[in-house]
Amino acid sequence: MIEVELLGYAIIVDTAEDAAEIRRRKWRNRPSKSGIPSFSHVYWKDGKTHSINIERLLMGEPGKGMIYTSCNGNPLDKRRENLKAVPAGRHRRTFSDEVRERLRTMALNENPQSNQTPYRGITGLPNGRWRARIKIGDKQFSLGIFGSQIEAAQAYDQARVERLGLPPINFPADAQEAS
Residue 151 within any structural domain of the chain: yes
Task: Count how many domains the chain has.
Answer: 2
Mean pLDDT value across residues 126-151: 89
Q: Let me know whether 66 and 138 are in one domain.
A: no
Distance CA 80, CA 77 (A): 9
- Domain holding 145: CATH number? 3.30.730.10
Whether residue 77 is found in the same domain as residue 120: no
8 & 70 share domain: yes
Task: Note the pLDDT tens digit of each residue in 8-51.
Answer: 888 899 999 999 999 999 888 887 766 778 888 888 888 888 88
Asked whether residue 7 falls in the same domain as residue 46, the answer is yes
pLDDT at 108 over 50: no
The answer, yes or no, to whether residue 80 has pLDDT greater than 70, is: yes
Do residues 140 and 83 both lie within one domain? no
Same domain, 60 and 117: no
Domain of 129, in residue numbers:
112-178
State the CATH number of the domain containing residue 33.
3.90.75
> What pLDDT is stored for residue 102 in this prediction?
62
What is the C-alpha separation between 111 and 126, in angstroms, rounded?
9
pLDDT at 113 exceeding the cut of 50: no
What are phi and psi for residue 169, nearest 5 degrees?
-110, -30
Inside any domain, residue 100: no
Residues 69 and 119 in one domain: no
What tens digit of pLDDT does each residue of 158-179 get?
Answer: 999 999 888 888 887 665 555 5
105 belongs to a structural domain: no
Task: Go through the chain and tell me how many residues it has.
Answer: 179
Whole-number pLDDT of residue 110: 44
Q: What percent of the chain has pLDDT over 90?
A: 17
Where does 7-96 have alpha helices with state H? Answer: 16-23, 54-59
Q: Answer yes or no: is 174 within a domain.
A: yes
Quick one: average pLDDT of 84-110? 60
The sign of the CA dihedral 94, 100, 102, 104 is positive
